[in-house]
Amino acid sequence: MRRVVVTGIGLNSPLGNSYEELYESLKAEKSGVIHLAEFEEIDDLGTKIGGVVGDLDFKKLIPRKFRRSMGRVAQLSAISTANAIVDASLEQDMLSSKRCGIAYGSTMGADETLFQWVSEVSEQNSYRGQNSMAFLKLMSHTVAANIAQMFEIKGRNIPTCSACTSSAMAIGAGYESVKYGMSDIMICGGSEGQHHLAAGVFDIMGACTTSHNHEPEVASRPFDESRDGLVVSEGSGAIVLEELEHALARGVKIYGEVIGYATSCDGSHITTPSKDGMQQVMQTSLDDAGIEPSDIDYINAHATATQKGDIAESHATYNLFGAKTPISSTKGHMGHLLGGCGVVESVICLIALNKSFLPKTMNFKTLDKKCANINVLANNEIKDSKIVMNNNFAFGGINTSLIFKKYKG
């Protein structure tokens, strides 16, 4: 089995658009959740807040010949990917080699394009005169397809469109591709663009917070007894995975090593999370890494601040790790990035390893009595961590668990 390391990082999030910016924002306990004026225009939308990426000049950063087939979700991904490629010092001959591939996902394609296209076709009762690029923007694999074209990537292409596990599953697919010798380099990640469609879906299910529209920075409260739902946000990220000897031969920086991954299905309910499914995927990831629960120094939880989800996850985690392992959900800082959450939270795990820094769970004060007695961090901690875990769960009972290890050479 080949060892897999992280050699490049790029991201765009409500807390910053680089590894260092994200770290500084977490350390300063900043919130990336704001009031969204466009949500006020929809009268029956209960939630009026969300997290957004800071201003980006897409026209300047992405050539038109590529941008014309991209919606916001793909544009954010393209910028994150470009930054990760530069960070990893990847030359074009490496990118275009059959040994370099891509794994990338999102919950949906470009929501804004979907709304415009369907509305125009319905109003005109005709497809004539419609933008020929519309489908390329809204198709489910728009991110993976557009990134491959823009960066001339000709190896494996694995679209991982699985809602909130999209980017974590992409990292897992890339890890397995390199580990089992199918690629030497995999560019992996995911993305989501802010739009009221996603907020509306969660809103009508009663899963969005609506009681803190006037104070958005305290709205997302994972594991807390006062939580009343999630905050829908946007963001993107890309990490470069590379076979260890290949990376060493190039002399590039190594952020950490991926040593474990698992994915599973609950096979029970389409929306209600299963603690058994969550526990199973974490155990299988530990088995893949060949380690015990006691070896994990920190867990970045999926915990979105919904009632059922946080409770189920707490019990699944407690059953394996008990009450000592430090746990936090950084969705308290920036909301739920949906298809982008897995990769950004994986970057946070790498920050934990390299900066000896464990981020708090923002707005957490009192653990819900229905939750298991897990060690939720209410304050930032300085801790030298060697192995950390990132967990993500999605509609359809899809579960992922990733394990990262500090690289010491």
| 164 is known as an active-site residue | yes
Instruction: For residues 40 and 140, give the distance between their C-alpha atoms in angstroms, rounded to a whole number.
Output: 28
Radius of gyration of the chain (CA): 20
Q: Outline where DSSP puts E strands in 128-205.
A: 157-159, 185-192
Residue type at position 1: M
| CA angle 199–202–204, rounded 5-degree value | 105
Contact assessment for residue 119 and residue 177, using Cβ atoms and an 8 Å cutoff: no
For residue 154, which phi and psi values (nearest 5 degrees)? -120, 5
**What is the helix (H) or strand (E) element at residue 8, kind and residue range?**
strand 4-12
Q: Which of 195, 196, 246, 302 is catalytic?
A: 302
Q: Which of 161, 164, 208, 371 is catalytic?
A: 164
Residue 187, both tokens: 């560019």
Instruction: For residues 191 and 163, give the distance between their C-alpha atoms in angstroms, rounded to a whole number.
Output: 10
Residue 163, both tokens: 């809602």
Cβ neighbors of 126 (< 8 A, separation 6 or more) are none
Other CB atoms closer than 10 Å to residue 89's CB: what's the count? 14
Q: Is 244 exposed, middle or buried (0-12, 13-18, 19+ CB in 10 A)?
A: middle
- Cα–Cα distance list, 84 to 57, 75, 76, 210 (Å): 18, 14, 13, 36
Q: Which of 195, 196, 336, 349 is catalytic?
A: 336
Contact assessment for residue 307 and residue 225, using Cβ atoms and an 8 Å cutoff: no
The residues that are catalytic are: 164, 302, 336
